[in-house]
Structure formats: structure tokens, C-alpha cells
Amino acid sequence: MRRGRTLPWLAALLLGLMGLLVCGSDFQHHCYEDMVRALFAVQSECPYITRIYSIGRSVEGRHLYVLEFSDNPGIHEALEPEFKYVGNMHGNEVLGRELLIKLSQFMCEEYRAGNQRITRLIHDTRIHILPSMNPDGYETAAKQGPEFNGYLVGRGNAKEMDLNRNFPDLNALMYYYEKTNGRNHHLPLPDNWEQQVEPETMAVIKWMQNYNFILSANLHGGAVVANYPFDKSRDARIRGRTTYAATPDEKIFRKLARTYSYAHSWMHKGWNCGDFFDEGITNGASWYSLSKGMQDFNYLYTNCFEITLELSCDKFPSASALPREWLGNREALVSYLEQVHHGIKGMVYDENNNPIGNAEVSVAGVNHDVTSGVDGDYFRLLLPGTYTVTASAPGYVSSTSTVTVGPAEAIQFHFYLKTAPKLNLKVKPHNGKKNLSSPKSPLKLGPR
């Protein structure tokens, strides 16, 4: 904890020591130990719908703790989408950290109170909350406190590396593939990527590899706007000029950003922090080009659609400002989470009803595919409309169907793929001999 009145601090401490949930009107800044205590207090208060796990450690050895909400914690249930919130990637941008701690407390409290909206979300979604991706940077920033915090002090990790410039640069590969009709999703990592990233970045990448996340948001500070991919421009940077870089899923990303902005108390008004963003949203590259960011990496490496939420003009607001910020963001945090339940979802089966993992699901007119998870379930975020959707997998005949998406919950549609017939590579003899020069001779099939 940093600054605040003595009595609320003592009350919160006593509640924490008793293993009870710190809730109600208590707002404070949480140092690492306080944050950990707060997360475990939530887990203690709601043990049947929560789980705490660590995805790794920071440079200075602090655990990167995640709090999971689910009706079956620790288990992926087929057709139940995975969602994540990540806060405090820049150590001195602290509002996201505090909002995610408060969101965790709020969800536990509301579930216990029988709130149907929150109960349904927890029963139908597997929610992962990482309040601090950069606990080391936070401790550096917090030593100065809200009043004296410098713009860059604590931004990076303990090695002063900016974690949002530390992911493998898959944009450059994607932009090259666009010119050659190459792969448009799940791009490969460089061979030596593990030597190029920080421990916190590596932990998050491995986290993405272990969970089939569908939707995500990364909480920052220093502006008030919902920022969507791509962050990196396709064109060389020209002084004084910004270049819009749209993804193939431009329309859905704009809708996701607007969902947060309009549910936020003032983001959608546009004028914030001396800047103006129409509807409170912006394309990242149109604002300024950024390389090796986490938002673009999610989209190009996984099934996950992520936006970056800039939530406060002040990177380290005082504790007295936290209640207003919570009320301004509470509905937006819940509304955005609900967006994971839109579009199409279903199973990809073979002809014997066995699930097929890693099958590709493509949508005509949208040059970006998603893949089914290890349990054979797939999730494709889409706006309302009618789409031609194809499922394919090596060794199977592709299946194509027309699916109509409504404005409410995701349409459930299953694919059944038949095993592809085996090619007969035998060559009929001609005059008792194999004619290897015949045009009908088998060709070697190489990678595309």
C-alpha cells in the first residue's frame, strides 16, 4: 500500500489477516505483497469458482499470479471460451492493476450475492486475470509514489526493458506474406525467440501456448482510448505522418473497441488528456507505429483478439482517484468480457465423432483463420451477418457451410470431416515396364 488514510488501511489489513475479502469502499494502491494477499483473499472467499496459478517469475523472482474464475476452475470445458485481462505491463501504469484487483473482488462478491449476469459469465466463460505482468517495474515506480512519479520511472522491467516492445516481430512476416499469398494466421516464431525476450514476456507467450484464449484486453495508462490492431504500420515511418494499418478483422476490432469505449463513463466522448479520438477508439498504427507489441502478437500467433485499453491520463493516479476510476470502468470491463460470446462456435469432428484438434476454420472474405483447440472446439468472433465458413484439417476432406450470425450469443455449428481418400501412387506398367517419363507419373508433393 502507498498513501491513504490510516483507519481504512488498518481495517483492510485486519480483514486480510482473517482471510476475509477486502471489499466495499476500500480503495488503495497494492504493493506486490498486498496484491498477492488480495488475490488469495478472493480465492479464499470464493473457493469453488476460483483458482490462483503462476505463469512464471519476473526478473527479480516475483510470481506472475493469475486469478481464474470458472464453474470448474483448472479445467477447460469444450465450447467454453477462454478470456484474459492483463494489467500493469508498464510498471508505472498502475490503474489497470488496481481495476483488475477490484474486478476480481467485485465478481466474487456479486456471485455470492446471486447476481445473474456475473453468475452466467462465470459459468459460461473461463476468465483469467493477470493484475500485474510487471511487478518489478511497479515496485520501482511505487517508491516515488503518485505525486512524484516520473513518466518513465518503472515503465520497463528490472532490466529496464519495455515489455510492450519485447515480443517477436510477427508483423514483418505477416506483411511479407500478404504480398506472396502466404500464411495468414498462427505465424511461426523465430528459432531463437527464447533468447530474445525477457522472463515476463516468455511467461506470457508460454501462457498463450497453454490456453486457447479467444479474447483479451491489455490495460495501460497515459491516455484514455481503446486501441486496436495493428499497432505496427505496413509502411516506413514518415515524419509527421501516421499510417492506418487494418487487420482482416477490422470491423470486429472496431466493434470491440467501441464496446469498451461506450460502456466507459467518458472514454467515448473523445476529448481526453488533451487529445481527441473519435468515439474514443483508435487504430494503433494510425496513432503511432509500435513494433513487437503484445496486441499484434496475440492476433498473429494465436486465436486471441486483443485490444489495448489506455485508461487514465495520469499513469499513477492517487488512491483518492481510484473510486471514480472504478465506477467509470466497471461496466466496460464486464461488457467487454461478454463479447467473447459472439460469432460462431462449435466442434470439429471426424466421421466417427472424434474431435479434431488444430483444424483450420476459415471465413470467406476474411483473410485470417482460427484453429480448433486440443478438444476440437473452435470459436470465431464475427459481427451479425451470413458467412461461408470452411473447416479443414490434414488428412480430411474440407467441409463448407453457410452460417448466419445473430446479434445475441454465438451460433453453435459443428463440422464433420470425412477422411480423405488415399492417393493411389502406383504406376501402371506400359509394355511390361514402368514408364517413368509419362505425364501420368506421380509427382512429389512438397510444402506450399
Q: Encode pLDDT of 172-225 as tens digits.
A: 999 999 888 888 899 999 999 999 999 999 999 999 999 999 999 999 999 999
Indicate whether 23 pLDDT > 50: no
Query: Tens digit of pLDDT for each residue in 100-146?
Result: 999 999 999 999 999 999 999 999 999 999 999 999 999 999 998 77
Q: What is the β-pairing status of strands 213-220 and 271-272?
A: unpaired
Q: Which three cell numbers stand for residue 192?
A: 531463437
In this prediction, residue 435 has a pLDDT band, given cuts at 50, 70 and 90, of very low
pLDDT band at 433 (very low <50, low <70, confident <90, very high): very low
How would residue 429 be classed by pLDDT, with cut points 50, 70 and 90? low
pLDDT tens-digit series, residues 33-77: 999 999 999 999 999 999 999 999 999 999 999 999 999 999 999
Secondary structure (3-state) at 238 = strand
| Segment 243-285, tens digit of pLDDT | 999 999 999 999 999 999 999 999 999 999 999 999 999 999 9
Residues with catalytic function? 310
Over residues 24-40, mean pLDDT:
88
Share of the chain above pLDDT 90, in %: 82
Which residue in 135, 142, 141 sits closest to 163, CA to CA? 135
The three-class DSSP label of residue 84 is strand
The residue with cell 530474445 is 196
Residue pLDDT, tens place only, 324-368: 999 999 999 999 999 999 999 999 999 999 999 999 999 999 999
With 70 as the cut, is the pLDDT of residue 432 above it? no
Do 413 and 377 contact (CB within 8 A), yes or no? no
pLDDT at 148 over 80: no
Q: State the DSSP H helix or E strand holding residue 223, giving kind and residue range, or none if neither.
A: strand 223-228
Contact, 263 vs 336, CB < 8 A?
A: yes
The pLDDT value given to residue 235: 83
Q: Please choose, from the candidates 54, 121, 130, the residue with its C-alpha nearest in 3D space to the C-alpha of residue 85.
A: 130
- From residue 2, give the alpha-carbon distance in Å to each of 34, 159, 363, 387: 10, 24, 50, 52
d(CA 378, CA 402): 16
* Percentage of residues in the chain having pLDDT higher than 70: 87
Q: What is the DSSP letter of 433?
A: B
Report residue 339 as a C-alpha cell. 463479447
Contact 253, 228 (CB under 8 A): yes
pTM for the structure as a whole: 0.89
- Rounded CA-CA distance 142/3 in Å is 10
Q: pLDDT at residue 26 above 80?
A: no
Which residue is it, cell 465450447?
Answer: 79
User: What is the rounded average pLDDT for all residues in the chain?
Assistant: 89
Whether the CB-CB separation of 171 and 230 falls below 8 Å is answered with yes
